[in-house]
A and B are shown apart, each in its own frame.
Chain A
Amino acid sequence: MPMSLFKRSPWILHYDGSSCNGCDIEVLACLTPLYDVERFGVVNTGNPKHADILLVTGSVNERNIEIIQNLYRQMPDPKVVVAVGACACSGGIFARAYNIQGGIDQVVPVDVYVPGCAARPESIIDGVVSGIAALEQKRKRSA
């Protein structure tokens, strides 16, 4: 879907699971001048009640589970989850560490998987765009 066809401004909530920080920083980099996703109306919010898209970096460990579920539960419908980076998709390099349960889809339903270790800003933006498409579909279905 071309960006010009966005009907609404998607608001994003970012949560950092057990990541190495790498993907996390790339998500932040998306907000800064070189990539600047805000020009598409994408807003980074800290409040789950305002968010349409939950962007998660890093894998889940036991302590994260509840927090991610809480954030997800508080988001209004329709909502979309984007897993950014190998860790969030499957646990990545840490999948076999004793304290890691696996990817984000162990805890909440994931709509878009963004590969990469670290995921590049271009692919993160691409993931968000796919997330918006998924959001539109859900909206139509529930309408």
Chain B
Amino acid sequence: MDKDAFLARVDRYHRDGWRLAIINTTSILPAEGMDGGAFDISWSFASDQLIEHVRERVLPGEEVPSISTSFGAAFLYENEMRELFGVNVTGMALDLKGQLYQTSTIVPFAPSAIRARLDALGRGDPAPKHEAGAKKA
């Protein structure tokens, strides 16, 4: 991801008085050309009735800058991202050092962890079948 461009965008939301609504991470399973999988991270900002999303795809290990200096609530989402997904978030205002959830499995939502659980269930790649409904974003 382009860190500077990202931070500039976040900063604009901050200056315009938006609030942070949610930071969500989705693990992308390992595939051809992406051995370790990836993370789709979206930062959602709300203002009055509007909600907008900034989305980035990052690889495991890739540095993701914290936005907790602009948005006070971000540290909780970011600690969660690191603890449950293994995303490499840097510069958090309050670093809980992996003590937030203390799950029995480490990084249970990481692509490799999900892959391992699916394999144990005997399910291969979740291949798309026939489609229903319109795609919404």
- Per the bound structure, the CA–CA distance linking A98 and B103 in Å amounts to 9
Q: Mark A48-65, 1 if CB is under 8 A from B, else 0.
A: 000000000000011100
Question: Number of residues in A with C-beta < 8 Å to the partner?
Answer: 6
For the residues of B in contact with A, the DSSP-based class is loop
- Per the bound structure, the CA–CA distance linking A101 and B105 in Å amounts to 12
Would you give the shortest CB distance from A114 to chain B, in whole angstroms? Answer: 26
Would you give the shortest CB distance from A97 to chain B, in whole angstroms? Answer: 10
Residues on the B chain within 8 Å of A62, using CB: 102-104
A137 within 8 A of B: no
Would you give the shortest CB distance from A65 to chain B, in whole angstroms? Answer: 10
For the residues of A in contact with B, the DSSP-based class is mixed
Q: Mark A90-104, 1 if CB is under 8 A from B, else 0.
A: 000000001101000
Residues on the A chain within 8 Å of B108, using CB: 98-99
Interchain CB contact under 8 A, B102 and A63: yes
Near A by CB (< 8 A), chain B positions 112-129 give: 117
Near B by CB (< 8 A), chain A positions 69-107 give: 98-99, 101
- Per the bound structure, the CA–CA distance linking A48 and B104 in Å amounts to 27
Q: Mark B96-108, 1 if CB is under 8 A from A, else 0.
A: 0000001111001
Residues on the A chain within 8 Å of B103, using CB: 62, 98-99
Would you give the shortest CB distance from A52 to chain B, in whole angstroms? Answer: 32
- Per the bound structure, the CA–CA distance linking A123 and B72 in Å amounts to 45
Residues on the B chain within 8 Å of A63, using CB: 102
Q: Which residue, B102, B103, B104, B105, has most C-beta atoms of chain A within 10 A?
A: B104
Would you give the shortest CB distance from B115 to chain A, in whole angstroms? Answer: 14
Question: Closest residue of chain B to A65, judged by CB?
Answer: B104
A-side residues, CB < 8 A to B, are 61-63, 98-99, 101
* Contacts A62-B104, A98-B117, A99-B103 supplied; 8 other A-B pairs, CB < 8 Å: A62-B102, A63-B102, A98-B104, A98-B105, A98-B108, A99-B104, A99-B105, A101-B104
